[in-house]
Structure 1
Amino acid sequence: MPTKTTPHPQQNHLLAALSPEVQARLFPHLELVSLQLNSVMYESGRPMRHVYFPTDAIVSLQYIMENGAATAILVVGNEGLLGISLFMGGASTPNRSLVQSAGHAYRLPRPQVKEEFKRHGQLLQLMLRYTQALITQVAQTAVCNRHHSIDQQLCRWLLLSMDRLTHNNLSMTQEFMANMLGVRREGVTHAAIKLQQQGAITYSRGHIKVLDREQLEALSCECYEVVKKETELLLPYLPQRQVITNVAAIPVVVLPTTKA
């Protein structure tokens, strides 16, 4: 049987964009964490002790209403990090962070984050640019939820997810998708069936496979393209994705998923 390889920190593109000098300071403090589907990374109002750099997982940030209803406001994957509130001056977040695609992330303790920030160097610059990209994603999500159909919203969300994965498969139920979009389950079911009939995806028992990305882009609204262009502009390191080979092993501690 093939052996599973341990994800490397440089599979996260923001960490990979750091200079060797900065990596040498931060990488010894990184801890590898396994992220299980539907597990909660940050809970609303709880203190934050780490920032997370996903390597092959996707995390959705959700706003939770008083009645328990939830809507995803952005997704985070290997392009950046989870936990901007920690370095923007806050100790907690009003949102819940939920794993929507299982995988791994490296987490960096709060003291090391703040110590590196005090240097006012490369990590600070990259994180601020990444924060601006997230602001664009949140703003465009609000516009999309208000003005575009469920079909278009689902296409946008699938495309954003595909941008953060190295494969074209997603595992999630219709109920989960409905919570992500903040709509009724029936609406997501109808939209998924239409996409399947058009040959863009296949969907069965909580498993989605994207068959035709170009068709998804054609069926999506302009919101996806706006977010994509702004992200590429702010994060020029993203297109330069390199396969990591012959990288020296870094000692890491593999931990179970825990709340931050």
Structure 2
Amino acid sequence: MADSQSPVLTPRNRLLAALPAEDLARLWPQLESVETEQRRILLAPDQPITAVYFPETGWSSMLAVLADGRSAEVGLIGSEGMVGLPLLLGSDSSAVEAMIQAPGTMLRLGAGAFRQALEQSSTLRTLLLRYALAFQQQVTQTAACNGHHALDQRLARWLLMAHDRAGDDEFPMTQEFLAMMLCVHRPGVTVAARLFQQAGLIRYGQGHITVTDRAGLEAAACECYGAVRRQFEQLLGSARG
């Protein structure tokens, strides 16, 4: 256990920050800080998972990749979560791809060290299992949203989720990426984004989006954004996303 002379550890990842000081102090020396660049693949489908990642800034898109090469986003993971949940659940590989969409800093933990940490800390294991349940709710709600809600509502929901994880009003994003994330053709995203810009909700250009009216986006979004937020709150409290 860290003594009174040990420095106070203040990780920006909210799962790590929710750990008791003793558990965090034991885990901290094994965490490696890595800078991630856009489009970097953290997990590839059906490939061995060699490490898990705790984002501190930026975020990763979880993508279901189809046989023809097309992909659809099924979830976002930022500082509220962890990339590599299959290891927690007993699998050595992932069925989906984890791709960096917004560059940032992540804390990397090797697969062996992660398994050992789960054995040593029931608190860590319970916290991550609760996060896994919250993330499952995000994936489930995303499927329902993409199947039943209008494009402008889905775009507002996605922009709010990205804004939550960006730590700033401005973040990198292209219309090409947005079309892939929302499973639509690019012209549809162009029209919806232009309407949001004309309404003063966002500004976009040169590969970046700036949220200028958060309340307006919340009003434009469907129920799905709030449903996922409430689930995170119920399961994780201050570690919500």
Superposition TM-score, scaled by structure 2 size: 0.93
| Structure 1, gaps ≥5 residues long | 1-7, 242-260
Corresponding residue number in structure 2 for 1:162: 163
Answer whether contact 1:101 1:171 (CA < 8 A) is retained.
yes
Whether 1:234 and 2:229 are equivalent positions in the alignment is no
Whether 1:107 and 2:102 are equivalent positions in the alignment is no
Corresponding residue number in structure 1 for 2:172: 171
Residue 202 (structure 1) shift? 0.4
Residue 9 (structure 1) shift? 6.2
CA RMSD after TM alignment: 1.4
Answer whether contact 1:61 1:98 (CA < 8 A) is retained.
yes
Distance in 1 (alpha carbons) for counterparts of 2:131 and 2:152: 28
Deviations 1:237-257 (A, max 9, x none): 237x9xxxxxxxxxxxxxxxx
Distance in 2 (alpha carbons) for counterparts of 1:153 and 1:55: 26
Matches within 5 A, 1:35-184: 35-119=36-120, 121-184=122-185
Deviations 1:140-174 (A, max 9, x none): 00000000111111111111111112101121211
Deviations 1:91-133 (A, max 9, x none): 1111111111110100111111111212351100110010010
Answer whether contact 1:32 1:105 (CA < 8 A) is retained.
yes
| Structure 2, gaps ≥5 residues long | 1-8
Distance in 1 (alpha carbons) for counterparts of 2:31 and 2:136: 26
Distance in 2 (alpha carbons) for counterparts of 1:225 and 1:56: 22
Answer whether contact 2:23 2:121 (CA < 8 A) is retained.
no
Distance in 2 (alpha carbons) for counterparts of 1:157 and 1:102: 17
Corresponding residue number in structure 2 for 1:205: 206
Distance in 2 (alpha carbons) for counterparts of 1:98 and 1:82: 10
Name which structure has the greater RCO, CA cutoff 8 Å, separation 6+. 1
Corresponding residue number in structure 2 for 1:17: 18
Distance in 1 (alpha carbons) for counterparts of 2:10 and 2:147: 37
Of residues 219-228 and 156-165 in structure 1, the stretch that sits farther from structure 2 once superposed is: 156-165
Answer whether contact 1:63 1:70 (CA < 8 A) is retained.
yes
Matches within 5 A, 1:219-258: 219-238=220-239
Give the secondary-structure state (helix, strand or coil) at the position aligned to 2:233. helix
Q: Give the partner amino acid of 1:87.
A: L
Deviations 1:6-48 (A, max 9, x none): xx86111111111111112110000011110121111111100
Distance in 1 (alpha carbons) for counterparts of 2:10 and 2:142: 29
Distance in 2 (alpha carbons) for counterparts of 1:195 and 1:38: 26
Q: Identify if the C-alpha distance between structure 1 residues 9 and 36 changes in structure 2 by more than 3 Å, giving closer, same or farther.
A: farther
Distance in 2 (alpha carbons) for counterparts of 1:175 and 1:135: 26
Answer whether contact 1:9 1:55 (CA < 8 A) is retained.
no
Answer whether contact 1:59 1:77 (CA < 8 A) is retained.
yes
Residue 182 (structure 1) shift? 1.2
Residue 207 (structure 1) shift? 1.1
Distance in 2 (alpha carbons) for counterparts of 1:81 and 1:146: 26
Distance in 2 (alpha carbons) for counterparts of 1:166 and 1:206: 17
Residue 192 (structure 1) shift? 0.5
Distance in 1 (alpha carbons) for counterparts of 2:154 and 2:237: 26
Give the secondary-structure state (helix, strand or coil) at the position aligned to 1:73. strand
Identity %: 40
Pairs aligned (count): 233
The answer to which structure has the higher helix fraction is 2
Distance in 2 (alpha carbons) for counterparts of 1:165 and 1:171: 9
Q: Give the partner amino acid of 1:12.
A: N
